[in-house]
Amino acid sequence: VTLIGMLATGFPFTILTVALGQIAEEFNVTEALATWSVSAPMLISAVCLPLLGKLGDMYGHRRLFIFGIAGSTVFAALCFFAWDIWSLIAFRVISMVLAGATTPSAMALLFHVFTDDERTRVIGWWSMGGPGSAALGLILGGPLVDFFGWRSVFMFQIVSGVIAWIIAVRALPETEARPAAFDHLGNFALIVSLLFLLFSVGSISEEGVAAWMKWSALVLGALGLLAFFRFERQVAHPIV
């Protein structure tokens, strides 16, 4: 069940890759700008994974898993009606951040359900969810875009999301919630630092980004992480 949820929310990360040309043409923008509809959701959702894992611990991983599927599906519907490149990027980012909630929650649910002897096998299946869903997105994206246009990929995401949500609601057990103080400052420092670092690394090959911006982002990200780890040693309920 968790693998179905991960596949349903994971393939949209890559499925739009094959449609960048169509998107750029429809919205009258460069293909480089259209690429951010794929890269921005990947970067920001990766940054938010520690936060999502913490929220699962606090409120229950079943609840977060189901909420992630539902929220991702709703914003996929908004992506279908995107009116310009900026609305598409914004809706995609929110949709994929919510979809990312299924990854840490799926692992926690597997640890909750299976015994120590069974966990090695099921974690192997869990680890296939990410690469498997990425490959599925690339395989499905081509035919969908060629025959029905780029907006059809979101209709496919909506249908698969609804099916995954129904299965999850019916089948998944709840995990114990562990209420704790939420580390707002630590979460903010971690997210901002990782965004700077990912921007620096991701822009290495981008000729349109000035060198001083790349190096500044790298330095700010590194300093932010140092401040984050120092601060986390002093709080009662650290993120990691």
Summarised one tens digit per residue, pLDDT across range 1-20 is: 666 666 666 667 777 888 88
Tell me the per-residue pLDDT of 23-68, one tens digit each, with 9 for 90 and over.
Answer: 999 999 888 888 888 888 888 887 787 778 778 777 788 888 889 8
Mean pLDDT of all residues belonging to the chain = 79
Give me the count of residues in the chain: 240
Residue 123, φ and ψ in degrees, nearest 5: -70, -30
DSSP states along 154-222: HHHHHHHHHHHHHHHHHHPPPPPP------HHHHHHHHHHHHHHHHHHHTTT-TTS-HHHHHHHHHHHH
Task: Give which of 77, 75, 81 is closest to 96, Cα–Cα.
Answer: 75
What pTM, to 2 d.p., does this model score?
0.76
Question: What is the reported pLDDT for 75?
Answer: 93
User: Domain extents for the chain?
Assistant: 2-179, 181-240
What pLDDT, on a 0 to 100 scale, did the predictor assign at position 41? Answer: 85
Q: What is the mean pLDDT of residues 144-161?
A: 86
Q: List phi, psi (to 5°) of 226.
A: -60, -45
Q: pLDDT (tens digit, 9 = 90+) per residue, 46-57?
A: 778 777 877 877
Residue 215 has pLDDT above 80, yes or no: yes
Q: Find tokens 């936060």 and name the residue.
A: 51
Give CA–CA dist 47/229, Å, rounded: 16
How high is the pLDDT of residue 230?
Answer: 79
- Among 3.50.50.60, 1.20.1250.20, 1.20.1440.230, 3.30.420.40, what is the CATH number of 2-179? 1.20.1250.20
